[in-house]
C-alpha cells in the first residue's frame, strides 16, 4: 500500500463519523474513493470539507450516533443504553442538541476506552 493510500485511510478513520453525521451520500462516496489504489489525500479531504459545511440533518446525526453506540452496546450497562436511547428520542424532537449526546458518549468512551473512537474528530470540539 502506498503512502497516499495510508494517509487517506487515516484521514478517513478520523473523520468517518463526522462525515456520516452530515451526509450518508458523501460517506459512501468516500468509501468508494478509498477502493482506488491511486488516491490522493486531497481528494478525501475535499469531500470531508464538503460534508462539514452541510447543515445539520437530524436523520444523518442519529444514524452516525447509532454507529458510534455500536462500540458500546456489548459493554455498556442497561441503564447506559436506556439513557442513550432516551437522548436520541429527545434529540429527535428538538429537546436536546447533538453536543449533549456526544458529551454523554464521551463519558462512555472514558469508561470503555476505544482508541479508534478516541481518534474520531466528531468528538474533538466536544472535549474543550
* 62 and 118 inside one domain: yes
Residues making up the chain, counted from first to last: 128
pLDDT score, position 83? 99
* 44 shares its domain with 93: no
Residues 9 and 25 placed together within one structural domain of the fold: yes
Work out how many domains the chain is built from and give that number. Answer: 2
Shared domain for 64 and 110, answered yes or no, is: yes
Locate the DSSP E strands across the chain. none
Within 1-128, where are the H helices?
3-20, 24-33, 41-53, 58-69, 78-92, 98-111, 115-118
Q: Is the domain of 118 the same as that of 68?
A: yes
Are the beta carbons of 65 and 21 closer than 8 angstroms? yes
Q: pLDDT of 91-127, one tens digit each?
A: 999 999 999 999 999 999 999 999 999 999 999 865 5
Q: Find the domain containing 82 and state its range.
A: 58-126
Q: Distance (Å, rounded) from C-alpha 10 to C-alpha 41? A: 9
Amino acid at each position: 500500500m502506498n503512502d497516499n493510500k495510508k494517509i487517506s485511510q487515516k484521514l478517513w478513520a478520523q473523520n468517518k463519523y463526522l462525515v456520516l453525521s452530515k451526509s450518508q451520500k458523501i460517506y459512501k462516496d468516500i468509501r468508494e474513493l478509498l477502493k482506488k489504489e491511486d488516491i490522493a489525500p486531497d481528494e478525501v479531504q475535499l469531500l470531508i470539507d464538503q460534508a462539514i459545511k452541510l447543515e445539520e440533518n437530524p436523520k444523518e446525526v442519529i444514524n452516525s450516533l447509532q454507529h458510534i453506540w455500536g462500540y458500546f452496546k456489548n459493554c455498556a450497562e442497561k441503564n447506559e443504553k436506556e439513557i442513550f436511547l432516551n437522548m436520541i428520542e429527545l434529540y429527535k424532537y428538538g429537546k436536546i442538541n447533538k453536543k449533549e449526546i456526544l458529551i454523554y458518549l464521551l463519558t462512555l468512551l472514558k469508561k470503555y476506552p476505544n482508541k479508534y473512537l478516541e481518534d474520531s474528530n466528531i468528538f474533538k470540539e466536544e472535549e474543550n
